[in-house]
A and B are shown apart, each in its own frame.
Chain A
Amino acid sequence: MTDTAQSSHSRSLVRGEQETPLLAKRRKAEKRFKALGLTAIIIALALLAILFYSIVSKGYSAFAYTSMKLSVTFSEQVIDPKGTREEAALRGASYGSILRDALRKEFPDVSSRSDLRKLFSLPSKGAALELRDMVLDNPDLIGQTVTVEITANDDLDMFNKGFIKRDVAEADRRIKDQEIAWFDQLDQAGGIELKFNSRFFTSGDSREPELAGIWGAMVGSFYTLLTTFLISFPVGVMSAIYLEEFAPKNKFTDIIEVNINNLAAVPSIVFGLLGLALFLNVAHLPRSAPVVGGLTLALMTLPTIIIAARASIRAVPDSIRNAALGLGASKQQMVFHHVLPLSMPGIMTGTIIGLSQALGETAPLLMIGMVAFIVDIPGGFNDPATVLPVQVFLWADSPERAFVEKTSGAILVLLGFLVIMNAMAVVLRKKFERRW
């Protein structure tokens, strides 16, 4: 800056006049152009910020849930009339009626049928199961009256977190004035609390937003990614080794080269159709299973890994190769004992980046039926499963307001994993980077 200022100053001294209009115009154009570039960057950064803000502000509350304190009487008549304390009997008892009694006791002046129904729906549909688990854990509860904490339903949860506003007209909100009155009564008695939602991380999908969790999707993602890794990593590294170290330069290897570059640009949904046709219709592998998802994603990730591995192998200097060969190693010994170990950090970096793309991929998995609603935690490669991004897609489609929060929460977890994976790649690169 100082340079140009000085030169224009000295020039004006020489010529004894101000800047010409043309020069002023060009200076202005220069400034405009620079500002334009900066604006573009600022807009792009702002878009990113808006994206993150909108996800975080919608999603952080998914990590908490609303619990309500109720004084519940675990009546022996209802739970275990025979007094046998057998697990089957305890399991089968009607905890719903215990819950209803507790609610009726809390709000004795509610009497009409429809009001009662509304009252009984305040706790989550899973609340009765929570009571059951308490009894199964500690059968001594039977016959006592204790204050317990149960999960509230999703509407109450949304209201408590402030996503449903009080000042909206009653007809426009999911939670009615009367329910708000009950909520306030419980709240004033100290019965409403916001607690850490461990269920979100430990349970599978559910139709009830307050019961839904991402553990099932995380386990599914794990099995899928493991399959992807087990296939794409060895195959990718082997083809990179062949193409870099052994392949003669002929038509055949040319075709392979062009092919790999082209495959990297094929839309992901086409890989999904390939998986559908090949693995489901021809090979008859199970639908919705991580093994099929993993195979499909492996074919997709393969070009990324091959390209990265080749670059990394190429970076190993020839002096290493010549030294090994000079000591009498065979070509394969040279590759497997010297070149491959030296290029491993680079290969790992590329693999992690490829896998992190695979982790975020959704479209091909829709094609092979991984969009099913699955409650159970998958126990293996052949069990029906879903993965994190597909879970996000499924929840984003759900009509309940509370699922917006869950979706954003799941996205936050997904982004967290991606950040960890990319950080790992960066650390690997930093730690093992070597300039020859």
Chain B
Amino acid sequence: MSTLPLIIFLLALCSVGYWFGSKKALQVSAASGQAMGRPHQFGMYVAAWGLLPPLALAVLWAAVSVLPMDAEGAISQQVNQVVFPALILLSATLGLYLSIRKISPELRTRKTLERIVLAVLILASTISIFTTIGIVFSLLFETVNFFDKVPVLEFLTGLNWSPQTALRADQVGSSGAFGAVPLFVGTLLITLIAMFVAIPLGLMSAIYMTEYASDRFRATVKPILEILAGIPTVVYGFFAALTVGIFFRDLGDAIGIDIVSESALAAGVVMGMMIIPFISSLSDDIIMAVPQSLRDASYGLGATKSETVRKVILPAALPGIVGAILLAVSRAIGETMIVVMAAGFGANLTLNPLESVTTVTVQIVGLLVGDQEFDSAKTLAAFALAMVLFIITLSLNVIALVVVRKYREKYD
């Protein structure tokens, strides 16, 4: 039996149990003449007993089937198809039967039910931890495997990246080279360009929006700017590859500079465009949080608005703004689709924004899309790169949080 019908059947079984349970509770209460809890509580109680044993069984089963087992795939297939559903249904029926029998005036169901509910709630909130553990372990595992084949030092300091491993041992370049420095430099370059676009535009619009704009202007323009944040990155990628990249290339042709159509410039500019609302709304909140008394004091001393902004508000808001910028940087480093579509796959070690570079995320996609066996250095390299990405973005986020929390000026 496959999963979905099994689940539906199980739920139907428990509904029947619920019905029986609540009915029996009414009968017992009438027969004994004693006050009891509400019938639906007894129904829920019975249904819970019908659901929990199969659930425990399923978890156990999943844990066992995940463990590596030797051969006999055919048998386990049969077991999966027949024995497992039978066990599930048997345990459910047993749970329902026993719990219905237990219904009596002395049974206190609410406490038990609430304990179960609380357990489920706790379990749900630990899923975030399991996700993190899952990320760290899946990355760590393959990364360690990768470093068995390629030395850490070569990965972190090597200047040559060509992960193509050949099919035969005697082919040219059969070993592949895994020096990731060109990728780091490429990522850095594109992130820098993105920040050159996003920081001035985002910050200046936040300043104008908070200090100069009328309420009506703010109310119309702010949501429009935030549209930029809601556009899927694949759309930016398409825009970067087809419109901006071509535009820069033609522009270069017109003034006699050689710009490739997959230049770091195009990818960086479009990425900066994506990040503008990120910086502007974060800085907006931060500038708004600077107390009015500071502004008034500055105006009272005769400063103009721009002097107030530059000499009072920005310094006061600086920790927050730095935090926002760090968050934006981590987002730019982790951004995938724009660079996959608009930057190249070739690992050039260059700082020239007019040439094509490649980034960490582009290489992860390049290494993992398509079919390949799972133990080659090529595939494992993607996990090592992802590990680097994970560590860098996470530390940037942590630093940003610390900066904001620790250096925030507290007025009031």
Contact = CB atoms under 8 A, between A and B. Distances in A.
A263 B128 CA distance: 8
Contact of A55 (B125, B235, B398): B235
A405 to B, nearest CB: 11
A256 interface: yes
A256 B212 contact: no
Contacts of B239: 51, 54-55
B336 A246 contact: no
A415 B125 contact: no
Nearest to B126: A256
Interface string B193-225: 000000011111101110110000000010011
A41 B125 contact: no
Contact of A241 (B121, B225, B228, B309): B121
A390 B336 CA distance: 13
Would you call the interface of chain A mostly helix, strand, loop, or mixed?
A: helix
- Which range holds the interface residue count of chain B? 35 or more
B341 A393 contact: yes
Nearest to A264: B397
Contacts of A50: 243
Given A277-B142, A281-B374, A362-B337, A239 B204 contact: no
A106 interface: no
A432 to B, nearest CB: 19
A37 B207 contact: yes
Contact of A41 (B66, B205, B337, B382): B205
Interface in A255-298: 255-256, 259-263, 265-271, 273-274, 276-278, 281-283
Contacts of A241: 121
A299 interface: yes
Contacts of A422: 230
Interface in B93-132: 110, 114, 117-118, 120-122, 124-129, 131-132
A427 interface: no
B356 interface: no
A329 B389 CA distance: 49
Interface string B35-65: 0000000000000000000000000001000
B132 A259 contact: yes
A361 interface: yes
B235 A411 contact: yes
Contacts of B203: 40
Interface residues of A, number: 82
A418 B334 contact: no
A396 B242 contact: yes
B337 A393 contact: yes
A330 B333 contact: no
A3 to B, nearest CB: 12
A247 interface: yes
B124 A37 contact: no
B82 interface: no
Given A41-B208, A44-B225, A269-B389, A393 B237 contact: yes
Nearest to B303: A26
Given A393-B337, A396-B341, A26 B307 contact: yes
B132 A263 contact: yes
A241 B124 CA distance: 10
A269 B336 contact: yes
A38 B336 contact: no
* Shortest Cβ-Cβ A-B pairs, 7 listed: A267-B334, A37-B208, A360-B232, A277-B138, A40-B204, A239-B125, A33-B306
6 contacts: A242-B118, A255-B129, A256-B129, A270-B389, A274-B131, A356-B230
Given A50-B243, A267-B330, A267-B335, 16 more contacts: A29-B306, A40-B205, A47-B228, A260-B128, A267-B390, A269-B361, A273-B139, A274-B135, A277-B141, A332-B118, A360-B231, A362-B336, A371-B369, A393-B337, A396-B234, A418-B232
